[in-house]
Structures are given as structure tokens and as C-alpha cells.
Structure 1
Amino acid sequence: MKYDVIIIGAGPSGIFTALELVKKNSDKKILMIEKGNNIEKRHCPKEKTKKCVQCKPYCDITTGFSGAGAFSDGKLSLSYEVGGDLPSLIGYDKSMEFIEYADRIYLEFGADEKIEGIENNKEIKDIRRKAIQAGLKLVDCPIRHLGTEKAQDIYYKIEKYLIESGVDIKFNTLAKDIIIENDISKGVIISDLKTKNSIERVYGEKIVIATGRKGANWLKDMCIRHNINHKSGTVDIGVRVEVRNEVMEKVNNVLYESKLIGYPAPYKDKVRTFCQNPGGFVSQENYDNDLAIVNGHSYKDLKSDNTNLAILSSHNFTEPFNQPIEYGKKISETVNMLGNGSILVQRYGDILDGKRTWEKELGRSNVNPTLPDAIAGDLTSAIPYRPMTNILNFIKAMDVVVPGFASSETLLYGPEVKFYSNRINMNDKLETNIKNLHCLGDSSGWTRGLMMASVMGILMGREIYDK
């Protein structure tokens, strides 16, 4: 089979590449290859079982049309200051122009028109003053909240639109390898995950890799195998913190999501908040190597009594070590081992007291865990001293901004590790050193989150169309 464009991965960056070509009325023949299901077939058994059942051959929470984005909290960050390093590649003005364009597309497919965090200037100034007092920086970022359940509806409409517009999508299909000859990409070797049929070769003029955060390790393997220029990037090691809504009430009402950055002593590593979910739920997502990673969801209609957010400590490695993804995986595996394959949860006060948390102690708390099958235990036995110290000192600083945040009963869940630490070398046309091969989204190391991944897809679509 021969296509003009083959897109590996149907997450936001891959989707918006195809979508932009369709909107431009391109006559190019497009194939999308997706390991998971179409969005209407993506369901998590945990809704009924109340416990993760380790689905095979993949987890529907992280795999399928729209990627992890369909089951995330569904927040669009409307600022170039949030979402990775793409602006440094394509320019800040261009990034903002593309963010506004992508936002209009989300609205076209049914996104909520309300934007969070653009009012209450006096209250925002008060929060910023407290952040400065704590040695933290508050990043202004308007948020359009899709909501976990509404995001699925929006992406379902986009999926139908692409298929009706003639885009071929192969679901439950594994990209095993890229076909490269004389430093020119020619196609992809694929296999059917459900029937396990023999491998097949599909050929294309342009090959776009958009495998998402979950596919970062696969892309790194491709880089090594085919000499695609890349370098080790940052790995984020962290926890998901959960507190009562009353503690976060002011920040939730004024900003919806507080994006705070600090460089706490003694190491001065970058530590930041990420993915805040007012009235949200702590969630679990599984990777193909049976890693259980913690995340957070926030629905439009269904609300809990708690707010959760990630605190991530960023780490960069130099020679001779160049395997930050493996480093993150090893930490995650150790946490999972202590939790017997499940997410671990520990109270902040127990960490300070040098003891593990016991199940009976969680029941005495004002904070009822929203992840019911998390195992009470000891995160400090698995997360290395340096990132753990960074996280604890950052929580202490957060208590200045949000009094009560560093309460003894504040819950910390782990592991929360972000696997986007492989950075592909590209120019502003998104060209790699392999002709006709392009890499997008979180797996490329250039973006973090729905909006910037979508922006990168739009840019890719236009580059292909113009040629």
C-alpha cells in the first residue's frame, strides 16, 4: 500500500496533522496507525471492578484514538509559556498564533467557551505576592477546561470527521519498525495486534511519528536503530498530591490551575506543579511493561471533595549516562514493587516523622483518597533522596501560598514520572536528519500536554501541505 502521509500514533499531534491537511482540502492520501481502539471502544474495567485488572495488550486509559488525552483532565493551556519547548524552536509569536488557531478548532468541535484564570486580578496579585514570599514563580496561563468526559466527546467528533473525510485509520495496529533506505524514510512495518497476523509493509512519502509520551521509549529505540539524531532530555520524577478542596479553594476559584515553579534548596533543581484538578480524582494508568503510573482526572460534572496536582522534580543527566527514560522506569518499578504492582500513597506527616503510612491511618484523615485501590506505604523507600528532598521542600514553600497544603494529612501518591526525556534534533520545519521523517508531540521531547502537541500537529500539517 502506498500513501502520501503515514502518521504513527493517533494522539493530539497526529490527529491535528491529519486535521489540518483535511481542513486545507489537501488531496493527499493519509494513513494513521494506532495501537489502541477507536475512542468509542475505549473503556476502563475499573469503573465496575473498582480495582485495576492490568488489561492486555494495552491500557485503554493511555492507548487509543486521542491517546492519554481522551482520559486526562482535558485542559488546554492557552499560553506559549506552558507546554514544553516548542516556542524556542518555532518562535514565541508563531506559537501564540497557532495556540489561538488550535483553540478555535477545539471550540468548533464542542469545547466549553469558558476560560479559567483570566479574571480576579486583585486575587491573582495576592497569590503572586505569596508565591514571591515563598520563593516561587506564578506562571499566568488561561485554561480552557474540556473535562475528562467532555474531552472524549470532542475527540469522538474529530475521529468521525477524519474518517468521513477519507483519512484511513488502522486501529489495533502495532508499528514494529520504520523502513529507511539511504537515510530516506520509505514506510512502516506494521502488524495486527488482535489477530497477530504476519507483518505488513506500508509505504509513504512522508512518515510522521507522533507516538506520545507512552511511545517515547519506542521512538528512542528507533533513533538508536536508524541513527536518528537525538539527545537525552529532562526526566521528571514526582508525586501526585491530594488535599481537601477547602485548602485549595481560593486558588481553584481564581486560577483553576496554579502553575508554580521553584528551585528549592539545597539542590536548586527545577520543581513545578502540573495538572491541577479541582474536585478531581487521582487515577492510575498502565504502561506496556506493566508499570503503574499515577495521574489525575477532572470531570465537568462529577466532582469529589478533593483537589489533586502533580509536583515534579526535573533532572538532567550528562556523560556518561544517557538513559533518563530507563532511570524513570527503574524508580517507577521500585515504587510498584513496594505497592505489589499498585500505586503507593503516603501522608506528608508520616514522611516527616520517618514512618510508613498504614491503611487504618488513612481512614482517620480529613482527606479521603480518591484512588481507592492505592496501597498505603512508604514512598521514601523507593524515590531517590534528591528528588524526594526537592518535593518535600517545595511542598513546604507551597504552604506559604496555600496555607494548609503542608498539612500532616496531605496525601502523596507515586510514582508520577513523565516519559518524554528523549529530544529529537529538528529544525523549525520539523525535519530530522532522515529525509521525509518527522517527529511530533510529547514523544519528540518538544511538547508537554494537549495544546502544544496539537499546535505541533497543525504546524506539521501546513508544512506537508505547502510542499
Structure 2
Amino acid sequence: MREFDVVVVGSGAAGAFMAYEFNKLGTNKSVLIIDGGRKVDQRKCPITEGKVDYCIGCKPCNIMYGFGGAGTLSDGKYNITTNFGGDLHNYIGEKKAYDLMEYVDSVLMSFDKGDAKLYSTDNTNLKSECLRNDLHLLTAKVRHFGTERNREILQKIYNQVKDKINFEFMTMVEEVEFKDGFYYVHTNKTETIKCKYLVLAAGRSGSKWISDTCQEFDVNLMKNRVDIGVRVEVPAEVFKHITDQVYEAKIVYQTKQYNDLVRTFCMNPYGEVVTENTNGIITVNGHSYADPALRTENTNFALLVTNKFTEPFKDSNEYGESIARVSNMLGGGVLMQRFGDLIKGRRSSERRMKKSFLKPTLNATAGDLSLVMPKRQLDDIIEMIYALDKIAPGMANDDTLLYGIEVKFYNSVVEVDENFETSKENLFCLGDGSGVTHSLSQASASGVLMARILNERD
């Protein structure tokens, strides 16, 4: 049986920056980071490699698992803000949260070529334009590296820390026990690992496992939400006047019909729509690149409706999964529909898609999203599209493409203190899997702080 001072479950954004900071501090603690996925250079999706057209259910999913987590193969977009992306500031304070996110940005830039642009929503006329049309632009600074450069940065971070920090890839933690002041971590490789400090940082993919583990230790969980929506794809020219200014516009709208909040999310100028596999559920996401040679003629982003539930229902993630399963069942994966077809109450077909002026960047099944998406959420999204059309004419064109379903799963918020410690001594939980953070910047920042805290522990 191997023994370490610290065991971290998950090498996503939080785990990766824990490793970086432990290494920088020259820690004398022995650290092991366990992940169900692969090293950075081994993470290759057969779809993006051009080997297959549809998700074939690789285990583990190279997009969702591995060093850097789901953020590694994302578009490398770091939002430096507390207006969205999590509640880190509610635990450690506004200034400390910003300082940590700025520190993360400086680390990323130190591994980059140095010319990644920092965008800001301040000092633009976009906020006024949104307000005039009953839309609300959230303030943020955005650093965009691009999918290819983000991967290179994380590879460099891994190369720097791998000789000091121990990693165990392609390994799943199945069970955790606590005896005589130590945690015993049991893996699917029939190994038991002993540690004094255990950190749960398994990200969105491990949110259910984190919930189950916390319940076993009687750690309090608070209800969270699930965001359900579609990924929209339009000609890049439609949003060019916005994305050239701020790169990503986080816009919130309150619908007139239901008073629900709808928001834009993960905007990818000149990007491509991609699939994700979360626990066997195929959902949709988006990527974009810094290299002009890799760019497309389209821009994509999500439109998400937040769903919160009251008694007696407790499993918001299951609600989102059930809707995504219907989409998978009808479309064999992701469904795609022209906005004009949706409004006219007819399914999109291959014949109609061939007449479209907009070429999709994802090979999805043409179909009818109204057979999948609950009416309330679909009405919200349609109303939001017409609202966005006022600031980005062309948004509500017939050829605008909607891909479904996009679901953002959130763990029930784990009750932790300002040190991310649960009510169980020396059991910590942080990152997106904790429900505390929902973004690369905040998750990475929480990892930095966690390493500093544990480095000072006896």
C-alpha cells in the first residue's frame, strides 16, 4: 500500500493548478493526483481527428477526462470576473478571488507565446446597446488562448510539475474509507492508497461521485441547478461587431412570458460545434482557435435556461440527463434544427439542410428539437433569439442553426469553509465538482489556494 501526505482526485483545472503551485512552493509534502483520463498529449478525440463522424463513446472520453480536465480541449477562454463562473468570492472574499484569478492569468501567460489578447466589456458601447433592448451585459475581462494554444500551455505545465508531483492516470477512485485519522482511497486497479489529506476535485464529470462520497461522510450538500438549452450557430459576421470588441459577450435576458432568465454562454467566434460525452450522455459544446488557419466562417454559443427545483425533487442533474437522453435516442447523438423550421413547426431534414446558406460545423442529425426540449425552455430560447436579433441583426434568420441538447451539470453545492474543508476533518472539495466554481479561472484559482493552504498544514 502506497502512502502520501496529499491525494487529489482529479487533475482538471483545480488539480492542475494545485500541482503547479505545490511545485512552485517546493513543497516537502508527498502529493499524488489521480485521474480517470490520460496525459495531455494522449488526449485525442476521434471526431476532431477526423476518424469518425459521431461520438463512439470512448472510455474515458478524452474531451472530458485527463490532465486539465474538460478545459484542456476547450477554446482556452478564461473569464476574470466574479459576476459569473462561480461563487469563489463568497468563500474567500472579492479581492482575494480577483488576485488569485489574476495570478492564474500571469501563470498561463508565462507559458504562452505572450500575445494572447485580453478583452474587456468595459469602455464599450455594447452595454448601453444591450440595456436599450432589455438585455444585460455582464462585466468581465476575457483572456482567449484558443484550443490549440491552451493545450500547449497545459502540456508545458505538466512537463514542469511531473517530476515533483506524482500522477496516476487512467485510474478511477471507486471508494474512500476513513480509519484512525487517515483516508484510504480504493481504485479500480485494486490498489489502496493511504493519505492524511484528501482533496475531491473531480470536476463536472465527477460531480455525481463527489456527491455520493460526501453523503457517505455525512457532509452537507445544498441543492444546485441544471442549465438546459441549445448551442446556436450563425455566420460569424452576425456577431462580428460584438466579438471583435469583447470576444465573449455574457448577456442575460429575462423573458416576458415566464420571467425566466436566459443567458449566452461560451461564445466561440470563428469556431466549431463539438460533442461531449458525460457519463454516456452525448451533449454539445463549442471550441474556437487562435490560429487563423484553423478558424471557420461561423460563430457559436450556447443559450441556456437555468432550472432550480423545490421539494420533493432533489436530482437536478437527472432532469438534465433525461432530456439529453431523449435527444440521443431520436438523433443517435446530437439533434440539429434550423430556426426557421422550428418556428414553422416542422422538423429539419437533410433536404432542407442542403438548401441552407449556413454550413454546419458539426455532423449532427437533422430533426425536431420541439420533440425533445420542454416547451417552457424552448419558448424562453425562442424569445431570447428575437431579443438578440435587435443587437445582432441576422440572429433570427431562418438558417440559424440550433444544436441540442446542451446541458451544464452542476454538483449539489458541497458545504465547505473558506479553506474548502468540509465538516469531515482533512477532507476538502473544490473546483467545478464542488459546486463552488463554474469556470476555468475560478477553478484554477481555487487549486492555487488549496495548494498554499495544504503546504502550511502539519
Q: TM tier, shorter chain?
A: over 0.9
The alignment yields a C-alpha RMSD, in angstroms, of 1.6
Partner of 2:305: 313
Aligned partners of 1:92, 1:423: CA distance in 2, in Å?
Answer: 19
Tell me, yes or no, if the aligned pair for 1:116 and 1:256 is still in contact at 8 Å: no
Map 1:83-232 → 2, pairs under 5 A: 83-110=85-112, 112-118=114-120, 121=123, 124-125=124-125, 127-164=126-163, 166-181=164-179, 186-192=183-189, 199-232=190-223
Partner of 2:455: 465
What secondary structure does 2:195 align onto?
A: strand
**CA pair 421-386 structure 1, distance change in 2 beyond 3 A:** farther
Alignment-mate amino acid for residue 10 of structure 1: S
Residue number among 73, 76, 80 corresponding to 1:74 in the alignment: 76
Map 1:8-407 → 2, pairs under 5 A: 8-46=9-47, 47-110=49-112, 112-118=114-120, 121=123, 124-125=124-125, 127-164=126-163, 166-181=164-179, 186-192=183-189, 199-288=190-279, 290-301=280-291, 302-340=294-332, 342-372=333-363, 374-407=364-397
Aligned partners of 1:167, 1:52: CA distance in 2, in Å?
Answer: 36
What secondary structure does 1:336 align onto?
A: helix
Matched, 1:412 2:412: no
Aligned partners of 1:144, 1:438: CA distance in 2, in Å?
Answer: 29
Alignment-mate amino acid for residue 403 of structure 2: Y
What secondary structure does 1:383 align onto?
A: coil
Provide TM-score, normalisation by structure 2: 0.96
Aligned partners of 1:315, 1:111: CA distance in 2, in Å?
Answer: 40
Tell me, yes or no, if the aligned pair for 1:111 and 1:154 is still in contact at 8 Å: no
Task: Tell me how far 1:283 sits from its aligned partner.
Answer: 0.3
Stretch of structure 1 that moved more, 137-146 or 275-284? 137-146
Task: Tell me how far 1:284 sits from its aligned partner.
Answer: 0.7
Partner of 1:433: 423
Partner of 2:433: 443
Stretch of structure 1 that moved more, 144-153 or 53-62? 53-62
Q: Deviations over 1:1-41 (max 9, x none)?
A: 11111000010101111221221111010000010111111
Q: Deviations over 1:297-338 (max 9, x none)?
A: 101111001000011111111111110011111011011111
Task: Tell me how far 1:89 sits from its aligned partner.
Answer: 1.8
Tell me, yes or no, if the aligned pair for 1:189 and 1:200 is still in contact at 8 Å: yes
Task: Tell me how far 1:191 sits from its aligned partner.
Answer: 1.9
Tell me the percent identity: 38
Q: Deviations over 1:71-94 (max 9, x none)?
A: 111101122223111112211111
Alignment-mate amino acid for residue 394 of structure 2: G
Alignment-mate amino acid for residue 142 of structure 1: K
Task: Tell me how far 1:363 sits from its aligned partner.
Answer: 1.7
Tell me, yes or no, if the aligned pair for 1:185 and 1:434 is still in contact at 8 Å: no
What secondary structure does 2:379 align onto?
A: helix
**CA pair 111-215 structure 1, distance change in 2 beyond 3 A:** farther
Tell me, yes or no, if the aligned pair for 1:209 and 1:438 is still in contact at 8 Å: yes
Aligned partners of 1:281, 1:185: CA distance in 2, in Å?
Answer: 46
**CA pair 405-433 structure 1, distance change in 2 beyond 3 A:** same
Aligned partners of 2:286, 2:93: CA distance in 1, in Å?
Answer: 31
Task: Tell me how far 1:112 sits from its aligned partner.
Answer: 4.2
Aligned partners of 1:415, 1:395: CA distance in 2, in Å?
Answer: 16
Tell me, yes or no, if the aligned pair for 1:89 and 1:428 is still in contact at 8 Å: yes
Aligned partners of 2:379, 2:121: CA distance in 1, in Å?
Answer: 35
What secondary structure does 1:415 align onto?
A: strand
Aligned partners of 1:242, 1:82: CA distance in 2, in Å?
Answer: 23
What secondary structure does 2:327 align onto?
A: helix
Stretch of structure 1 that moved more, 266-275 or 148-157? 266-275
Aligned partners of 1:458, 1:216: CA distance in 2, in Å?
Answer: 20
Aligned partners of 2:94, 2:31: CA distance in 1, in Å?
Answer: 30
Q: Deviations over 1:229-272 (max 9, x none)?
A: 11220110011000001111101111111110122122222211
Task: Tell me how far 1:119 sits from its aligned partner.
Answer: 8.2
**CA pair 120-262 structure 1, distance change in 2 beyond 3 A:** closer
Tell me, yes or no, if the aligned pair for 1:116 and 1:143 is still in contact at 8 Å: yes
Aligned partners of 2:120, 2:132: CA distance in 1, in Å?
Answer: 23
Provide TM-score, normalisation by structure 1: 0.94
Aligned partners of 2:133, 2:344: CA distance in 1, in Å?
Answer: 23
Task: Tell me how far 1:52 sits from its aligned partner.
Answer: 2.5
Tell me, yes or no, if the aligned pair for 1:179 and 1:187 is still in contact at 8 Å: yes
What secondary structure does 2:82 align onto?
A: coil
Gaps of 5+ in 1: 193-198
Q: Deviations over 1:112-139 (max 9, x none)?
A: 4433433893xx21x2222112211111
Alignment-mate amino acid for residue 465 of structure 1: N
Alignment-mate amino acid for residue 86 of structure 2: G
Aligned partners of 1:112, 1:364: CA distance in 2, in Å?
Answer: 43
Alignment-mate amino acid for residue 390 of structure 2: V
Aligned partners of 2:381, 2:138: CA distance in 1, in Å?
Answer: 19
Aligned partners of 1:395, 1:303: CA distance in 2, in Å?
Answer: 24
**CA pair 330-141 structure 1, distance change in 2 beyond 3 A:** same
Alignment-mate amino acid for residue 145 of structure 1: H
What secondary structure does 1:150 align onto?
A: helix
Stretch of structure 1 that moved more, 109-118 or 389-398? 109-118
Alignment-mate amino acid for residue 444 of structure 1: S
Aligned partners of 1:111, 1:80: CA distance in 2, in Å?
Answer: 27
Gaps of 5+ in 2: none
Alignment-mate amino acid for residue 340 of structure 2: G
Tell me, yes or no, if the aligned pair for 1:58 and 1:287 is still in contact at 8 Å: no
Aligned partners of 1:2, 1:222: CA distance in 2, in Å?
Answer: 20
Task: Tell me how far 1:188 sits from its aligned partner.
Answer: 1.2
What secondary structure does 2:237 align onto?
A: helix
Task: Tell me how far 1:49 sits from its aligned partner.
Answer: 2.2
